[in-house]
Amino acid sequence: MLIDSHCHLDFPELSADEAGVLARAKGAGVGGMLSIGTRLDQFDRVRAIAERHGNVWCSVGVHPHEAKEEGQRSPARLIEAAQHAKVIGIGETGLDFYYDHSPREEQAESFRAHIAAARETGLPLIVHTRNADAETGSILEEEYRKGPFPGLIHCFSSGADLARRALSLGMYISISGIVTFKAADDLRAIVRDIPLERILVETDAPYLAPVPKRGKTNEPAFIAHTAAKVAELKRIDVSELEAATTANFFRLFTKAEQSECG
């Protein structure tokens, strides 16, 4: 069984065929999915999908792209939303200095509020980072000194130093279809060195479809291709990779019930 640890089932590319997406995922051996919140004003839609399906969970958060409009200065709203039984993570949050859709100071402020929510609730922090390795690592370390919190770097495409810094804080690293891309040799080298007990897999659907599905709308069923590549890099059987990443998911996302998978 595989778990898609990060997808966006509420995005129109997937929500238009919700039943089909979930059926294809089940057929591909995907037992559960974590659908990620990116805006608070759209969170009800994210939560509703999770409520309709036993093997779908959700997170609550504000993507760094949205920090200008919805950035959180306090963890209060996140903590309140996290009381719902289906909310098992905080985020996605973090820093994106590639697009800079929101001012960097507002991204950082919101990031810290999400960390406070993760610390308060005990739910894992889901971190997005792009072109901000040093700053992301520094904020995580500064905040961790104030009090520990669980978390992961999602859709990892950063350098080896951020991987090292995150792992040293006890965080997990989630690998997406990027690992199958032709130009991703640096990422593949890092994945080889990440301890198996700290790896998760994800689609980030509807984005980043893996080889051989490049150019198509990504969906949870396609996670099998990413898992196969990670298993190849780790020189283990796919079944061992599936078992490890599923165990890792439930070890990190302790609020999720494995009995709900199907």
Domain extents for the chain? 2-257
Name the helix (H) or strand (E) containing 50. helix 43-52
pLDDT at 262: 67
The answer on whether 128 is annotated among ligand-binding residues is yes
The answer on whether 142 is annotated among ligand-binding residues is no
The answer on whether 63 is annotated among ligand-binding residues is no
Low-confidence ranges of the chain (pLDDT < 70): 262
End-to-end CA distance of the chain: 9
Alpha helices in 71-212 (DSSP H): 76-81, 104-121, 133-146, 160-168, 185-193
**Cα–Cα distance, 22 to 28 (Å, whole number):** 10
For the segment 148-164, what is each residue's pLDDT rounded down to a tens digit? 999 999 999 999 999 99
The answer on whether 6 is annotated among ligand-binding residues is yes
Domain with residues 2-257, CATH architecture = Alpha-Beta Barrel (3.20)
Please list the residues that pair with 33 across neighbouring strands.
4, 56
Are the C-beta atoms of residues 2 and 242 closer than 8 Å to each other? yes
Q: Phi and psi dihedrals of 177, rounded to 5?
A: -65, -15
Distances in whole angstroms, Cα of residue 176 to Cα of each of 16, 91, 196, 225: 23, 17, 15, 10
